[in-house]
Chains A and B, each alone.
Chain A
Amino acid sequence: MEDKNIIHNKRIIENKKQFNLKQFFFQWEWMLVAVFIVINIMNTNLSPNYLSVTGILDATMLFLDKAFMVLPMVFIIILGDIDISIASITALSSVGMAVAFNMGLPMPLAMVLGLIIGTVCGFINGILIVKFKELPAMIVTLSTMTIFRGIAYIILKDQAAGKFPEWYAYLGWGYVGVIPFMLIAFIVCAVLFALLLHKTTFGRSVYGMGNNTTACLYSGIKTDKIKVIVFTLMGLMSAVTALFLISRTGSARPNIALGYELDVIAMVVLGGISTLGGKGRMLGAVISIFIIGLLRYGLGLINVPAQALMIIIGMILIVAVTIPNINLDKLRKKKKVTA
């Protein structure tokens, strides 16, 4: 009996290995890499100016401001939640920062204040969502979205605040060697978030909660605490986006970052993170940031109008999400036939 069991177990293990190998090549991330390569080849063919290291490195500065929000959004969507107040948090914290600076606060302190504002906003979201479990996160953040941007409007009306010290522009425009400072900052953040998601108990709990929050609660995971932390992180990173964004634009306005939330969610979803929760990886989201960003840049080089870009990106989003649906169905049918 025991021998049989062992053999059986071995078989399971072997099967698992084979299965894993197969899965390895059918991973979403590989498809994204393929898309990424196709886009780069296409861009290179379309425009002779595309393929230059400095050009591409510079281009990353055009879209990396949003990318900081993509990282914690991955956590939130894996939780099966959504946060649509992020662009408003960015607006509020950039306005708060700029106004505090104009009132005489030294810039470093103003930056800290901006980060604090973002963190507090995220914390408020988290607490509301945890205390009112019957309300979907979408609804809570829908109302806080209006409130946060509303406060930004109250503070600054229709004015713009700016005139930051010169060194502050370094955040958005500076280089370390040939590499933009923003890219380095993003890579550091991305690695930290990836480690947090994939290598810590915290990250595993997030996956668990995305699959079954109640089961996690009963197995001793402090689900409320984790949710609040994730939303607070989201607020913090929205404020980080604010730091880079107003460094690039040079001034803060209440209508800054309008519509970023949908862009960010689109990037996360394209990265293979299911809005049902519990699935997806950080790498996919990071690749999809660069896919969308470089696609915009490359098509912009050959003067494709921004409106056509919107159509293309919308199409890519839908096609990317639809293809695996179709594939899965076919695979299932094949399995049934062989069985």
Chain B
Amino acid sequence: MRNISKFREAGLLMFIFILCIFIQFKNSSFLSLENINDLLTNTAILSILAVGMMMVLLTAGIDLSIGSTVALSGMTVALVVNANPNVSPIVAILIGVGVGTVCGLIVGFLVSILGVFPIIASLGMLNVFRGLTFMISGGKWVSAHQMPVSFKGIATSSVLGINTLIFIAIITYILFFYFINYTRTGRQIYAVGSNVNSAKISGINTKKTLLLVYTLMGALSGLAGVLWVSKFASAQGDTATGYELNVIAACVLGGVSVAGGYGKVSGLLVGVLLLGILNNALPLINVSPFWQNAIQGVIILAAILMNALVKRRATKENLRRRKI
């Protein structure tokens, strides 16, 4: 199994490599430093959400409410900075994360304590959070001129020479790479996803793990919400509608199994990168925006099917090699 996953990531990387050469050939500005910076900035929010979603998927759950959580936390923060322009960006981010954490906690409570199926719990909360977003804003937008410069600066400023969004994404990845791979709680997430019962029997508090996973997902969505609003300099009621499906697609491309228990941060990174490159490169090589959806869909489908075929073949060969 280990070989397959390595092969898988290598295959995806190879695909990205070929794609990059092809695009570079068509449009030489693709691999310019400026464009790469753009690409990464645009992918940062998706990648932050993808880490959270990966943990949720690892437990064999799913969270459809994150698009709404992004909108709710983004709108809350936008309203706060609109009312008090002196709020520092860090406080704004903390408020967003706080709102997201509460949202995640609610979904987690429903899933872990009350035992509601994740897809239903998050589907219900999707409606609730989205409705709340419209309620607190009164259906109005908060647009660029209503936000203080310091807040919009979150997305345009840079830390240590890299854009803040990318910086935050990198920090998130380092933190969660450590958390998922090298802490006890992180490994317990895999255990819960592989087999809830055996996890329970081996003394893992599965309810706590589930609650934690959804809360972290909420917190990351809250963070993403603040970054989203700062980046696009507008908070709307319908921000990030349907974005949860993009995030799930990124996870699936990155080899995270929706059935739980399988997936790695490194694979996820490759998946997110591929999706980001597709988003960035298709306009660069003059693909009509109307074709982008379909092309993206075909590539996602092809990647998933290829992955399945490769896995099948590997299992077959393993069986053949086995000495009886």
Is the CB–CB distance between A139 and B134 below 8 Å?
no
Query: Is A269's beta carbon under 8 Å from chain B?
Result: yes
Chain A residues positioned under 8 Å from B121 (CB to CB): 318, 321
0 or 1 for each of A138-151: is its CB under 8 Å from B? (1 = yes): 11101111111111
CA distance A153 to B292 in the complex (A): 9
B311 in contact with A321 (CB, 8 Å): no
Check B86 for interface membership: any CB of A closer than 8 A: no
Interface flags, B107-139, vs A, CB<8A=1, else 0: 000100011110111011111101111110001
With A265-B123, A314-B127, A318-B124 given, is the CB distance from A146 to B117 under 8 Å? no
Closest to A266 in B: B123
Would B114 and A154 count as touching, CB distance under 8 A? no
Among candidates B124, B292, B301, B305, residue contacting A317 with C-beta atoms closer than 8 Å: B124
Closest to A82 in B: B119
Complex-state Cα separation, A226 to B124, whole angstroms: 30
Q: Does A191 contact B (CB under 8 A)?
A: no
Closest chain-B Cβ to A126's Cβ sits at a distance in Å of: 15
Known contacts A311-B127, A314-B128, A325-B116; decide if A145 and B290 are in contact (CB<8 Å). Answer: no
Asked if B296 CB lies within 8 Å of chain A CBs, one says yes
- The number of residues on chain B lying at the interface, defined by a beta carbon within 8 Å of a beta carbon of chain A, is 49
Nearest A residue to B137 by beta-carbon distance? Answer: A307
Bound Cα distance A158, B293 (Å): 13
Main secondary structure of the interface of B (DSSP, over half): helix
Interface string of A78-107 (1 = CB under 8 A from B): 000010100000000000000000000000
Contact of B294 among A134, A154, A305, A309 (CB under 8 A): A154
Interface contact A138-B116, CB-CB below 8 Å: no
> How far is B249's CA from A128's CA once the two chains are assembled, in angstroms?
17
Report if B304 contacts A (CB, 8 A). Answer: yes
8 A Cβ contacts from B123-177 to A:
123-128, 130-135, 139
Which of B93-101, B212-220, B240-248 is found at the contact surface with chain A?
Answer: B240-248
- Which residues of chain A are within 8 angstroms of B116 by Cβ–Cβ distance? 318, 321-322, 325
**A133 to B, closest residue via Cβ:** B308
A184 at the interface (CB under 8 A from B): no
**Separation of A132 and B295 alpha carbons in the complex (Å):** 21
Distance from A120 Cβ to chain B, minimum over Cβ atoms (Å)? 16
- Contact, CB under 8 Å: B120 / A310: no
List chain B residues, Cβ under 8 A from A275: 117, 119-120
List CB contacts (< 8 Å) of A280-339 with chain B.
305-315, 317-318, 321-322, 325-326
Label chain A's interface by main secondary structure: helix
In the complex, A262 has a CB within 8 A of chain B: yes
- Closest Cβ of chain B: how far from A88's Cβ, in Å? 9
B87 to chain A, nearest CB (A): 26
Assess the A307–B297 pair: CB atoms within 8 A.
no
Check B293–A310 contact: CB distance below 8 A.
no
Choose from A154, A313, A318 the contact partner of B120 (Cβ within 8 Å).
A318
CA distance A317 to B121 in the complex (A): 8
- Taken residue by residue from 251 to 279, chain A's Cβ proximity to chain B (1 for < 8 Å, 0 otherwise) reads as 00000001100100110010000011000
Are A311 and B128 touching (Cβ within 8 A)? Answer: yes
Residue contact B237 to A134, C-beta cutoff 8 Å? no
**Chain A residue nearest in CB terms to B65:** A314
What is the chain A residue whose CB lies nearest that of B133? A307
Q: A225–B252 Cα gap in the complex (Å)?
A: 27
Complex Cα spacing A312 to B132, Å: 11
A contact set with B: CB distance below 8 Å: 82, 84, 128, 132, 134-136, 138-140, 142-151, 153-154, 157-158, 258-259, 262, 265-266, 269, 275-276, 305-315, 317-318, 321-322, 325-326
Residues of B within 8 A of A (CB): 62, 64, 110, 114-117, 119-121, 123-128, 130-135, 139, 237, 241-242, 245, 248-249, 252, 258-259, 288, 290-298, 300-301, 304-305, 308, 311-312
Contacts A265-B119, A311-B132 aside, 18 further interface pairs with beta carbons under 8 A come to A138-B258, A140-B301, A142-B249, A143-B304, A147-B298, A153-B293, A154-B294, A157-B288, A259-B242, A275-B119, A305-B134, A305-B139, A307-B134, A310-B127, A314-B125, A317-B120, A318-B125, A325-B115
